[in-house]
Structure 1
Amino acid sequence: MGAVTPTTPAERTDRAPKQDRSRATRQRLLEAAVACLAELGWARSTVSVVAERAGVSRGAAQHHFPTREDLFTAAVEYVAEQRSHALRELSATSRAEVVAALVDLYTGPLFRAALHLWVAASHEEALHARVAELEGRVGRETHRIAVRLLDADESRPGVRETVQGLLDMARGLGLANVLTDDTGRRERVVRQWGLLLDEALS
């Protein structure tokens, strides 16, 4: 067996910027894919459209994500992880603020993008299993974060269902906001849910 030739400092220095550029390209592609899904929907969000929006070639896009399904499931997962991180960092002073933050989670561009992906996955066999697994994982993580933020004791009867009801309500408000700006009604609902949760969980 021959000896392994060590890399020189110059080679290591050259490799680092290439890795940085690769990570930056991957992130631009993920962010562009989410934006395209939210704005254009699944049918019009091709790899070429995403690559153009990200400012990279189609070949570069396929180097990072060999298939369209790889690109879009990775994109939604990436932003979902960013969303979870933001929630973990949230320091709300009241349950009403927690409710508002969770509802915001379901009324932004990520939810709109995920909605298009869900619709596509309902009749695209290549997507279905991957999206279902991703959404199950994101849903469990969101539930855990909500329990912590709300200081909810799930050993008490009905508390788990109360927290899950909040998340289901937030998803419903997100759906209502897809076609029209539902801000006014949503704010009133969020205030009322904050009061109800405070009473139910105290």
Structure 2
Amino acid sequence: MAVQARGERSRTAALNAAIAILTDSGYAALTTRAVQQASGLSRGSFLHHFPTREDLLAATIEELIERRAQRAQRMIERFAVDPPADRLTAAIAAVRELCSGPDFLAEMELWASARTNPDFRETLIPVTDRIAKRLRDQLTELFGPEIATDPEFPTLAMLTVEIARGLAFSAPTRRGRGDTVMLDYWARAATAMLNRPVG
């Protein structure tokens, strides 16, 4: 048990180091050597967990997705305890929040890298399938049953995620300016899509 716990700590240290490098310096700086040194692990210990760079990349994206899913779950639980008066607007804002912060910046670096890394892209295909299902389930809970049962909800949910991602990608050059205006506009458009009264 102690060996297993130690191994898990080593793996976590490597993944934390990888995420920190992605956030601070970008994908180009994410080498196995850099992660190994930043994590403080021996070369042998590091290679035990991640024999190839693709193994490290795949594990890092899985970790980032898990962190995002945990953040989403906390939001869902918060909504269950204290339901927002305007669930639609609150859920849209929550999706934007999920697509922000250091973890999401690191995640963006990896998704972008898959375009020019065919080996990594192949590794991501099953991950993408799992993400899609889990995200759909969490969006259904986040928006709540009244909205989620509307026939337009799948389209609304997909567009909300794409808008949030788009805002995240452009945020560094905009320095976050315009998010509130765009999200308010999308909330009004989404309300119209669902034929709901405007609050």
Structure 2 partner of 1:168: 162
The structural deviation recorded for 1:46 is: 0.6
SS of the equivalent of 1:43 reads helix
Structure 1 partner of 2:114: 121
Runs of 5+ consecutive residues of structure 1 not aligned to the other structure = 1-15
Q: How many residues align?
A: 186
Structure 2 partner of 1:82: 67
Structure 2 partner of 1:107: 100
Once the two structures are aligned, what percentage of the paired residues are identical? 26
The answer as to 2:185 corresponding to 1:192 is: yes
Structure 2 partner of 1:51: 36
Cα distance per residue 1:62-90 (max 9 Å; x no partner): 11111111112111111211211221232
- Structure 1 outlier segments of 4+, above 6 Å: none
Question: Which stretch of the first structure deviates more once superposed, 170-179 or 35-44?
Answer: 35-44
Cα distance per residue 1:72-122 (max 9 Å; x no partner): 211111121121122123223233222222112212223322222223221
Cα distance per residue 1:19-49 (max 9 Å; x no partner): 2111111111112112212222222211111
Task: Describe how 1:12-51 pairs up with structure 2 within 5 A.
Answer: 16-51=1-36
Distance in structure 2 (CA, Å) of the matches to 1:50 and 1:179: 28
Amino acid at match of 2:171: N
Distance in structure 2 (CA, Å) of the matches to 1:170 and 1:139: 16
CA contact (8 A) 2:152 2:193 kept: no
Distance in structure 1 (CA, Å) of the matches to 2:94 and 2:106: 19
Structure 2 partner of 1:7: none
1:190–1:163 distance in 2 versus 1, CA, 3 Å:
same
Distance in structure 1 (CA, Å) of the matches to 2:14 and 2:106: 14
TM-score (norm 2): 0.82
1:155–1:96 distance in 2 versus 1, CA, 3 Å:
closer
Distance in structure 2 (CA, Å) of the matches to 1:121 and 1:191: 32
The structural deviation recorded for 1:154 is: 5.1
Structure 1 partner of 2:45: 60
Runs of 5+ consecutive residues of structure 2 not aligned to the other structure = none
Structure 1 partner of 2:127: 134
Distance in structure 2 (CA, Å) of the matches to 1:83 and 1:154: 21
Distance in structure 1 (CA, Å) of the matches to 2:191 and 2:174: 29
Structure 2 partner of 1:147: 140
TM-score (norm 1): 0.81
